[in-house]
Amino acid sequence: MEKKQRILAIEAHPDDLAFFYGGFIAKMTAAGHSVRVLTVTNGDQSTCDPALSCNDIVSILNKEHAKAMDILGVKDQRFLDGFTNHFMFSSEVQLKLREVLIREIREFKPDTVITFDIADMFEENPDHRLLARVGLQAASFAAYPLIHPEQLQQGLKPHFTGRMLLAPTKQPNVFVDISEDPLEKKKAAGGAYKSQLDLMFSELKYRAETMGLKPDLDDLTPQDLWESVCESMAEETAKVGNAYYTQHKGIAPRIKFMQAEAFRMQYLGAMEKIHDYLPKEYQSL
């Protein structure tokens, strides 16, 4: 990418970005691209520990999130107010979220918006599914002046977002090399969320025990498990990416990946209908 990009990443919970595509964000900030991160909820139920209150986990997550964003080089980050994780079911709340995201897009004017993949029908987290749908709508509708015209009266202008990057995805069509420093920063940023690593570690153990399994985790810490999984996923994604580009040589990078992250890239409006006929630089990162 020669042109400096403006990237708006929309996550449902404070740890989503770091775990799913922290390597890409670290790579973009290091290259001088502008990155803004919107966190829709404060993650106030993200624990298996009954001794913790919602306020406790919010306080912990706020500190962990600030550390993770610093590791990834993100200087522009904000939480949205008024949205509760796992309870954004009403149409009123969803329409309000779309309105807020349209405002954020018109204000920041991103080239690229990153959020969850609407094609993942089996995503168990309702916030991820919701944001996949509402985020896509907001990125599209921000271009139309008769949608929330009051925002234009307040000085904002319609904005035509070029493309979406959707992750995690089971239908990747673009891969990003995160070898070396980006991967190390991803591991460190994910490791900053100690409360969430503890949650995942405990959940893994308890769900395995429910099935009558006894995983040998005695010699592993949550941090060790995260780093091992992070490296293994990056290596496996690189293999998938190298195979994909073997079949799509016209958009293939010059060198093969060792570690990678994957996205489904989707254009918006007329761009989506003709993107296969556009120059190579429009079809890759």
Please give the Cα distance from 76 to 89 (Å, whole number). 28
Q: Which residue in 147, 99, 95, 111 sits closest to 268, CA to CA?
A: 111
Structure tokens at 248: 């799509």
Please give the Cα distance from 88 to 206 (Å, whole number). 27
- Measured in whole angstroms, the distance separating CA 161 from the mean position of its chain's CA atoms is 17
pLDDT digits (tens, 9 = 90+) for 106-161: 999 999 999 999 988 778 899 999 999 999 999 999 999 999 999 999 999 999 99
**What pLDDT score does 248 carry?**
87
DSSP H helices, the chain, are 16-30, 54-72, 91-108, 126-141, 149-153, 181-192, 194-210, 222-247, 270-274
- CA distance readout (Å), 142 to 104, 110, 134: 9, 11, 12
Instruction: Pick out the chain residues at pLDDT < 50.
Output: 1
**What pLDDT score does 1 carry?**
46
Please give the Cα distance from 57 to 49 (Å, whole number). 10
The pTM of this model reads 0.93
- What domains are defined for the chain? 6-282 (3.40.50.10320)
